[in-house]
């Protein structure tokens, strides 16, 4: 069975809140989603003394998610070709889990990093089949997360450029006071985009503008007129994963929308212009 992924299309209230177009509704009804878009920007403001760092910002993000009912277990970023040397932004796990991470270096990274790079979609660490991993170290590593006392642990991969970020959250309540996993996922993506714009050492991981083979394929299908659900069915992936790849494409090409991304990609010879036969 492997890792269990989840996906759900956000409703209009959620999306408008995240786009910052629903501030009045937010002010009058915090239950819509419980997140003020302005808070995301405030997380990246320097401290009052003018000092700031990736680590300090990571701590502010941890407090922010705590208010949303989630514990930030760790947040790290690595190059897609070097998963064994991550840049840790925030980490709050026991030493015995960190010690196992060191053991994974010769194996090309920990299971969470490998799964994140493979699927690029959220998954619940606690809902999986350990037998999917052949080596005892991976099984021991994943089972260790079960001893942290959380009822749910989700891993949110964020990938654009050559960087991959893993954001791992834990929730230990019944879920009634916490925002949804889907909102946490979308916020994670927005936070990493802001991180890349705020700190040069983070931005260095997101340098390439060249599309990956999967991104180019999805954009080509978009150019042929397929919508996200149709592309997901065609490629046997979730609509969320399709949406994530399209967001990555727009970021890389600095595109305003999907149509603009298609035009820029064709101009840059990243994809071919669809013919009448492929578009039909």
Domain ranges of the chain: 3-203, 213-279
Question: Residues 6 or more apart from 55 whose CB is under 8 A from it?
Answer: 89, 90
CATH of 3-203, one of 3.40.1160.10, 3.30.450.80, 3.40.50.410, 3.40.50.2300: 3.30.450.80
Question: Residues 6 or more apart from 167 whose CB is under 8 A from it?
Answer: 72, 75, 155, 156, 157, 158, 188, 191, 192
Q: How many CB atoms lie within 10 A of CB 163?
A: 22
List 3's β-bridge partners, or say none: 128
Q: State residue 262's pLDDT score.
A: 93
Q: State residue 263's pLDDT score.
A: 92
List 156's β-bridge partners, or say none: 167
Q: State residue 188's pLDDT score.
A: 83
Q: State residue 226's pLDDT score.
A: 93
What mean pLDDT, rounded, does the chain reach? 75
Only one residue has tokens 């991976």, namely: 138
CB 214 within 8 A of CB 183: no
The SS3 of residue 158 is strand
Cα separation, 77 vs 28, in Å, equals: 37
Q: State residue 230's pLDDT score.
A: 93
Only one residue has tokens 């990609």, namely: 265
Q: Phi and psi (nearest 5°) for 43?
A: -65, -20
- DSSP letter at 206? S
Whether the domain at 3-203 and the domain at 213-279 fall into the same CATH topology: no
The parts of the chain modelled with pLDDT lower than 50 are: 1-11, 13-34, 279-280
Only one residue has tokens 């009058």, namely: 28
Q: State residue 112's pLDDT score.
A: 83
Q: What is the torsional sign of CA 20, 22, 28, 34?
A: negative
Architecture of domain 213-279: Orthogonal Bundle (1.10)
Q: State residue 1's pLDDT score.
A: 26
């Amino acid at each position: 069975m492997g890792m269990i992924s989840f996906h759900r299309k956000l409703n209009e209230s959620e999306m408008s809140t995240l786009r910052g177009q629903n501030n009045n509704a937010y002010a009058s009804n915090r239950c819509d989603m419980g997140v003020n878009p302005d808070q995301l920007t405030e997380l990246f403001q320097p401290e009052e003394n003018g000092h700031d760092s990736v680590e300090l910002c990571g701590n502010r993000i941890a407090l922010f998610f705590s208010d949303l009912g989630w514990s930030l277990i760790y947040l790290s970023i690595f190059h897609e070709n070097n998963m064994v040397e991550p840049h840790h932004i925030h980490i709050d796990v026991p030493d015995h889990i960190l010690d196992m991470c060191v053991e994974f270096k010769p194996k090309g990274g920990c299971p969470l990093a490998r799964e994140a790079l493979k699927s690029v979609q959220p998954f619940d660490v606690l809902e999986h089949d350990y037998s999917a991993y052949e080596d005892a170290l991976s099984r021991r590593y994943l089972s260790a997360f079960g001893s942290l006392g959380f009822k749910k642990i989700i891993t949110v991969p964020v990938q654009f450029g050559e960087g991959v970020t893993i954001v791992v959250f834990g929730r230990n309540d019944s879920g009634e006071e916490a925002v949804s996993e889907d909102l946490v996922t979308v916020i994670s993506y927005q936070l990493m985009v802001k991180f890349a714009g705020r700190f040069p050492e983070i931005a260095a991981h997101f340098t390439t503008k060249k599309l990956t083979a999967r991104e180019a394929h999805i954009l080509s299908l978009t150019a042929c007129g397929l919508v996200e659900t149709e592309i997901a069915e065609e490629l046997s992936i979730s609509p969320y994963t399709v949406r994530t790849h399209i967001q990555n494409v727009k970021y890389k090409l600095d595109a305003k929308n999907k149509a603009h991304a298609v035009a820029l990609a064709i101009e840059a010879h990243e994809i071919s212009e669809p013919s009448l036969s492929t578009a039909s």
